[in-house]
Structures are given as C-alpha cells and as structure tokens.
Amino acid sequence: MQYLEMRKGRVEIIPMIDIMLFLLVFFIMVTLRMIPAQGLPAHLPGSSTAQRLDQPKVMLALHQDGSLQINGHAITLPALTAQLRAGQPGQTQVTIAASQGVPVQALVKVMDACRAAGVSAIGLAATPLAP
C-alpha cells in the first residue's frame, strides 16, 4: 500500500509585501494629485531674482482696489490682524500676492497688519522673469 503524502499549502509573504508597498505608493501619488492647488487669480509682478518660498501657511491676495482676500474670502485689515494673532504668529508664514499696479501704501498697510499680529515671516509673491 502506498502512502499519500499530504503537503500543506504555503502562502508566500514576500510577494504580498511587495504588492502592498506598490499599492501604498500608488495611493499616495493619487492622493497628492487629488488635493487641489489653491490659488487666487492675480497678475503678479515679475522679478528676475524671484526665489521659491516654502509653502505659506497664509496666502493673502491684495487687489488693485485695495481689497484683501484670504483663501478666497474677503477680509479687512483689523480682522486679518485678529485672525493672525489668534493662531501662532511666531510660526506663521504669510505670502502676499499683490496684483500689478497695487499702490505701495496698500502693500505696506497689509505688511503692518501682519507685523502688528506678531508675524515676522512675510513674503511677496512674484512670477519669475526669463533672464
């Protein structure tokens, strides 16, 4: 009489780990593409010495008529100061995207409102010009 040898099935774990890592990378890449880049339409001034800034925590849009927007919502200078002061002003980075033709005095008022809240990291958005 012949004995039949019963073999247990093996589950190979290494290929499964590879597949899970590929899925993880795939979902991360898809998720990054799904997050919309928020921006406000503005005709930014050009600069031949413009440098890339770190991702701002607060993006302000200053229009030619002096109106100010934060994340697409209109805001006044006193409300801006109060909002910045309510957060962590020492660690907040503010980038001002001023349209071309904005009076310098309006830009200085916005910068003063940010500094009055305690923000010291203030950047100006510009489009790089070709050298």
- In whole angstroms, what is the distance from residue 27 CA to residue 34 CA? 10
Tell me the average pLDDT across 18-32.
88
Task: Tell me which amino acid residue 41 is.
Answer: P
Q: Could you list the beta-strand ranges (E) of the chain.
A: 46-47, 58-62, 68-70, 73-75, 93-98, 121-124, 127-128
Query: What would the two tokens of residue 104 be?
Result: 């310098």
- Domain 46-128 annotated CATH 3.30.565.10: no
Domain ranges of the chain: 46-128
- In whole angstroms, what is the distance from residue 77 CA to residue 59 CA? 14
pTM: 0.57
> How do residues 38-97 score in pLDDT, each as one tens digit?
444 555 566 666 666 565 578 888 888 888 988 778 888 899 888 888 888 777 888 888
- In whole angstroms, what is the distance from residue 31 CA to residue 52 CA? 24
Phi, psi angle pair for 91, to nearest 5°? -110, 5
Asked if residue 21 has pLDDT above 90, the reply is yes
Q: Can you give the pLDDT at residue 47? A: 61
